[in-house]
Structure formats: structure tokens, C-alpha cells
Chains A and B, each alone.
Chain A
Amino acid sequence: MRKSITTFSELLLVCGQNHKHTYELIQDNEAFLADTNVDEVRLRVKKTLAAMKDAIQAGLKSSEKSISNQCGDDCVKLQERYKKGPSLLGDLFEKITTYALATIEENLRMGKIVACPTAGSCAIVPSVLVAISEKLDISEEAQINALITAGAVGSIVQNKVALAGAVAGCQAECGVASAMSAAALVQILGGTEKQMVHAVALALKNILGLTCDPVAGLVEIPCVKRNAFLAIYSVTAAELAMAGVESKIPADEVVDALAQTGQLMSPMLKESSQAGLAKTKTALKIEKKVLGKH
């Protein structure tokens, strides 16, 4: 397999023709691109996965605040809450939300994380992938397959829209991360490639228009909590797709809509902190306090 895959329809076609999974095609392609072999590619993904797990473990134990002193202690609060009583939605929900906050808080205190696809959206894929793998006792090889699948999804979206808040708002960061996470989940649950692509379409359709309006320009408010919200959200997309629910609009067209929405979105709502949450009364107070500190 040496053909570059740039759209979801192409991915489905090539998977079907070759009777292969997405991760098989992508790891072959990656080996070709990097002048290496599939084992090396998988080893690198394995290291990435290990770094994600390290970030979760580090984040669970810390309540150190960020440079701005605004965020960093929510994961501890959540763990305390679950010690008192289980989550309404069960232990998987508990794991996903705590792992998500652990990872994103580790990020804001300048700890080591994996950008996935970006640092501001780094907690969505790992929290879901690691939580489900622990819950269902998924093998490391299968986790690697799922992470490659997630990467493939991001890579295809990136062919049409740069994965940066400044280009297409948070659609392109946490939004795309939720689609990647949904895809990883379908791969782990043994869904078909078609179901995986529907999960992507379903996830992306419901984050269209998501802006990037961080308070004081920092990857903190609302990014921290949004990672936990969109991690849980991605499970919905995977569950629907696994049930055979299909997106009426094909994934590639949803990506087109996302790119167009990103273009039409005011630059004031694209990582410039000139509108939205970033210009609320309280945000301005925080901004003054944070910038005044330096």
C-alpha cells in the first residue's frame, strides 16, 4: 500500500479493496513516508501511548496551579467527589472525566503531555482510550491499533483544514479530537471501518461552530473543562455508530462544512481572545490580574 489517503471515502474504498483495517493501511503508509518499517512505526506509537499514560498518572496526583494561578485543582476535586459516591453514569464515566482533567491540568502546569492533535485538546483521546482499555482489559497491541486509527482521522481532516484554533476555532482542536477519540473507540469495540467513519461524521457534525475564545489567551478557560466534556461526548458518537446509526451527511462533506464554518467564523473568535468568553466582565478581570502579574 503506497497510495496516500486524503479523504474518508478514499479510506473506505482502499480498506474495502484490500480487506484491511484503517490502522493497517496507515501504518504501512507511515513506514513508507518515514523510510522505516511497520514495527518501528508501532514502537513509536507505543511510546506515545506510554507518554499519555504517564501524563494521566502525574496529573492524578497533582493539584499544582498553572503559571496564571487560574487552573490546576479540578481533577483532585473530581476524585474527591467520586470517593464519596459513584458517578451517576458508572465507573467508565468516572475514569474518563478524571483522566481527562488529569491530562489537561498536567498540560497547563507545563508537565509532559502528548499533543493530540494539539496541546489544548490533549486530554480527549487519551482519557477515553486509556479508560476503556482498563475497563475492558484491552491488549496493548489493540490500544496501538486504536491510537493509529485516531491519528488517521486527524490526518485526513488536516488535509482540508489546519488543526489550529486560529484557523477554524475549537472545532479544529477539541472538536477534531472528539472525532479521533470516537474513531479509536469504534476500533476497540470491533466496529467496521464504515462505522468508524460514521462515528467521525456524527462527532464532527455536533461541534460545528465551536469557537476558540480563551480567557487571557491562555489554554485554561474554557479549555480544561471542555476536554472532559468532549471526551464524554465522543463516547456518544461511538455508541451510536456501533448501533448502526449513520450520519446522513458523509464524513468528507462534514469536514467541508467544518472548514467553511471555520472560514466564516470571525477572527475575533479564533484564538485571538477578542470576543466571546474572553471578553466577558469576569474574563476581563482575570485577564487584568493575570497580565498584571508579569
Chain B
Amino acid sequence: MKQSSLFDIISPIMVGPSSSHTAGAVKLGLLARNIFGTTPKKVTFKLYNSYAQTGRGHGTDKGLLAGVLGISVDDVRIKNIFDLPEADEIEYKFEFLEDFNRHPNAVDFIFEGAQRMTISGNSIGAGNVRITNINNFAVKLSGEFNSVVIIYKDRLGVISKVSGIIQNEGINIAALNCERSAKGEDASICMSLDSALNYSIVEKLKKIDDIYLVRHVAKLES
């Protein structure tokens, strides 16, 4: 059984009113931003189910935008985020949808900028979140760990090369999720690590043949 931390319970220090609908939204935005790698030029937020129905009253829209702008859960500017100069620098819109196949508190981020990227996630309660998909690849990111996400062409030995490089740096892999669309097609690796990867390791990973995308997703401060 997973040992829960004291700070799963007496945290986060956050802007109210809801851990799932406000703090969770900020965290999802922050993780999506980390995965995208920079501030996007344009973002469409698709809010589903409870996020769509009660989101505005909980400041879910404000929280999602704050996260994408790199503003943390305890920043009192979230309340007036739509009036901040940072918000004027990007184009954004919100869509409110119903889809009972999705989690009650689900969101899609559609980022546009240097590239287009779709990231989906859920707010699963008490401020805990999961990023579940990146460009239709199933992933599992919670922000509790420093993680690395890799998208590559499914081929013998890629997972072993990746884990070898990480192991050589003396970094322990806490969890590992792999997924592929079909044999020999695109596949994804999602690793939770006990410490951060530095820039040079990420560059080393990028040099492995048939790897399209490597993202180090920094752990969120809670």
C-alpha cells in the first residue's frame, strides 16, 4: 500500500475555494505547461462534467489559466488572473462540455505555439491530479515526482537504453509506465524518478535513435 505523506493531508497552501476545482486546476495547468515546455501562444481549455458545471463558481477557469502561465497554487493573483498583463500576452478560450465517458473533473489543454499539443488530465480529489494523455498517448503523471516522458517509435531495446542512461546517473526509477499504439508504431514511456534529471541527461536521451520527444516534467511544489 502506498504510504501517503503528511503533506497530502495538511496542504497545499492554496488559494480557495476548492482543492479539486481550484488548486487541482492550477496543478493541472502547471503540469501541462511543464509538458509543453513553455508558455503557449494560444490555448483552448475544454472543461468536462463537474468542471464545466461548477467550474466558474470555483474559479476553475482562473486556476487552469494561472497554471498555464506558471503561477502557483498559493498565489493570490489567481483571483484576478484575467486582468493580469501575463494573461493578455496569450490567446485563450474556455469550452464547457459534458461527456460521461470522462472523469467528473476532466480537462483538455489544446496548446498552439511552436507546435500543437493536446494534454488531458483529471483532478482526482483533495488537490491531487493526474495527467492522463499527451497527444493521445496514455501517460500517468501526478506532479509528485520528477518525471520524464518519452515518445518514440516502438523498437527493441529503447526502454532498456533509456533506463540504462538514467541508472548510470544514479537516479532511482520509482514507477514506470509504457504504452504503444501498435507493434512497431509510436509508443510512450513515462517514468517517475526519485530525483531530477539535469539538462545534459535529457539531451543524451534525445540522441537515442527513434525518440521523437523527451520532456522532463519537474515535480510540483505542494
Stretch at the interface among A76-84, A152-160, A244-252: A152-160
Whether A111 and B16, one on each chain, are in contact in the complex, defined by CB atoms closer than 8 angstroms, is: yes
Whether A166 and B13, one on each chain, are in contact in the complex, defined by CB atoms closer than 8 angstroms, is: no
Contact of A290 among B21, B57, B62 (CB under 8 A): B57
Report chain A residues within 8 Å CB of B56. 67, 294
Question: Is B20 an interface residue when CB atoms closer than 8 A count as contact?
Answer: yes
Docked Cα-Cα span, A47 to B10, in Å, equals 11
Q: Which of A80-111 contact B (CB under 8 A)?
A: 106-111
Stretch at the interface among B74-82, B84-92, B183-191, B199-207: B74-82
Stretch at the interface among B1-9, B34-42, B156-164, B208-216: B1-9
- How close is A158's CB to chain B, nearest CB, in angstroms? 5
Question: Is A236 an interface residue when CB atoms closer than 8 A count as contact?
Answer: no
- How close is B201's CB to chain A, nearest CB, in angstroms? 19
Q: Which of A1-44 contact B (CB under 8 A)?
A: 4, 6, 26-27, 29-30, 33-35, 41, 44
Report chain A residues within 8 Å CB of B5. 30, 33-34, 155
Residue of A nearest to B74 (CB): A112
Report chain A residues within 8 Å CB of B74. 51, 112
Which range holds the interface residue count of chain B?
A: 35 or more
Whether A217 and B50, one on each chain, are in contact in the complex, defined by CB atoms closer than 8 angstroms, is: yes
Whether B194 and A164, one on each chain, are in contact in the complex, defined by CB atoms closer than 8 angstroms, is: no
- How close is B143's CB to chain A, nearest CB, in angstroms? 15
Whether A113 and B9, one on each chain, are in contact in the complex, defined by CB atoms closer than 8 angstroms, is: no
Docked Cα-Cα span, A30 to B8, in Å, equals 11
Stretch at the interface among A130-138, A143-151, A193-201, A202-210: A143-151
- How close is A4's CB to chain B, nearest CB, in angstroms? 4
Report chain B residues within 8 Å CB of A45. 6, 10
Report chain B residues within 8 Å CB of A30. 5-7
Question: Is A231 an interface residue when CB atoms closer than 8 A count as contact?
Answer: no
Which range holds the interface residue count of chain A?
A: 35 or more
Contact of A114 among B6, B13, B104 (CB under 8 A): B13
Contact code string B3-29 (vs A, CB < 8 Å = 1, else 0): 111111111111111111111000000
Residue of B nearest to A34 (CB): B5
On whether A119 and B10 interact (CB within 8 A), knowing A217-B54, A217-B57, the answer reads no
Whether B1 and A119, one on each chain, are in contact in the complex, defined by CB atoms closer than 8 angstroms, is: no
Residue of A nearest to B81 (CB): A110
Residue of B nearest to A152 (CB): B6
Question: Is B125 an interface residue when CB atoms closer than 8 A count as contact?
Answer: yes
On whether A119 and B59 interact (CB within 8 A), knowing A33-B3, A35-B194, the answer reads no
Whether A110 and B126, one on each chain, are in contact in the complex, defined by CB atoms closer than 8 angstroms, is: no
Whether B1 and A110, one on each chain, are in contact in the complex, defined by CB atoms closer than 8 angstroms, is: no
On whether A41 and B6 interact (CB within 8 A), knowing A118-B19, A290-B57, the answer reads yes
Whether A116 and B57, one on each chain, are in contact in the complex, defined by CB atoms closer than 8 angstroms, is: no
Contact of A147 among B10, B17, B50, B79 (CB under 8 A): B10
Whether B3 and A48, one on each chain, are in contact in the complex, defined by CB atoms closer than 8 angstroms, is: no
Known contacts A6-B3, A180-B9, A216-B57; 20 additional CB pairs below 8 A are A35-B194, A44-B7, A109-B79, A110-B62, A111-B79, A112-B14, A113-B14, A113-B16, A119-B23, A119-B127, A120-B18, A148-B6, A151-B9, A154-B10, A158-B4, A163-B9, A163-B125, A163-B126, A164-B20, A166-B50
What are 26 A-B contacts with C-beta separation under 8 Å?
A6-B3, A33-B3, A41-B6, A45-B6, A68-B57, A110-B76, A113-B15, A114-B10, A114-B13, A115-B19, A116-B9, A118-B125, A119-B22, A150-B10, A151-B6, A151-B7, A154-B8, A155-B5, A155-B6, A158-B4, A159-B1, A163-B126, A164-B126, A217-B54, A220-B17, A291-B57
Closest 9 CB pairs of A and B: A164-B125, A217-B54, A107-B16, A154-B9, A4-B3, A110-B79, A151-B6, A119-B19, A219-B17
- Contact surface of A with B, Cβ cutoff 8 Å: 4, 6, 26-27, 29-30, 33-35, 41, 44-45, 47-48, 51, 66-68, 106-120, 122, 125, 147-148, 150-152, 154-155, 158-159, 162-164, 166-167, 180, 216-220, 271-273, 290-291, 294
